[in-house]
């Protein structure tokens, strides 16, 4: 039996590399990397003394200055499971379901003043990206990307994209949009 923690760590490394190559237009694979302790360092430190450790939320951090713009807007969480229960977005949350992950990610984002960027993968299925209404309206819609699903949950509007579609967009376009939003 495979170790689920190793599966998650490998998925985070894979996503880090994909994001790095995309963000650098194929030049670098080391701009993003797994956050130390997979984001637990941020949570533990915050719970202990309410201090924010920049660039340490979520599962992916910027390991190079080039990635700071992206990480200043998004907290990235990665989940790779055998089965994803989409019904959990309308049912009550339990520990291992999409809505629970979304709520936890939103809490981190509120502390860090970022937006959720939840990348999920079910075995033998494509990677999906879940974003909030702000990211949809002010960022991804400007890139003319079509979401594949939309959920209006108890308190959120969640837009879902194929992650590979995001990676097809020139990263320079996203950088320009993020710079404009940063200055507003």
Specify the pLDDT at position 23: 98
Specify the pLDDT at position 96: 64
pTM recorded for the entire structure? 0.86
User: 93: closest CA among 105, 109, 82, 111?
Assistant: 105
Count of structural domains, the chain: 1
- Write the DSSP symbol of residue 144: T
HSE-up of residue 44 (Cα within 13 Å, Cβ side): 6
Specify the pLDDT at position 97: 79
β-bridge mates for residue 149, sequence order: 160
β-strand pairing of 32-34 with 157-162: unpaired
Distance, CA of 25 to CA of 179 (rounded, Å): 18
Q: Which residues form the domain of 27?
A: 4-183
Mean pLDDT of successive 10-residue segments in the chain (184 residues)? 72 97 97 73 50 68 94 95 76 71 91 94 94 94 90 83 96 95 75
β-bridge mates for residue 79, sequence order: 120
User: 12: closest CA among 45, 35, 31, 30?
Assistant: 35
User: 54: closest CA among 113, 102, 13?
Assistant: 113
Distance, CA of 145 to CA of 88 (rounded, Å): 25
């Amino acid at each position: 039996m495979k170790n689920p923690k190793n599966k998650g760590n490998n998925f985070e490394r894979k996503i880090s590399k994909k994001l790095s190559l995309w963000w650098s237009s194929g030049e670098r694979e080391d701009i993003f990397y797994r956050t130390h302790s997979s984001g637990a360092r941020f949570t533990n430190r915050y719970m202990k003394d309410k201090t924010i450790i920049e660039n340490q939320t979520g599962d992916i951090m910027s390991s190079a200055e080039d990635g700071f713009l992206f990480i200043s807007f998004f907290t990235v969480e990665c989940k790779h499971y055998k089965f994803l229960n989409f019904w959990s977005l309308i049912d009550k949350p339990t520990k291992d379901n999409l809505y629970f992950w979304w709520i936890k990610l939103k809490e981190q984002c509120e502390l860090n003043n970022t937006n959720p960027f939840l990348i999920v993968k079910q075995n033998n299925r494509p990677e999906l990206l879940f974003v909030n209404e702000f990211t949809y309206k002010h960022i991804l819609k400007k890139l003319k990307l079509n979401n594949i699903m939309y959920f209006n949950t108890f308190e959120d509007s969640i837009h879902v994209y194929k992650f590979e579609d995001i990676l097809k967009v020139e990263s320079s376009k996203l950088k320009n949009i993020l710079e404009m939003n940063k200055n507003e």
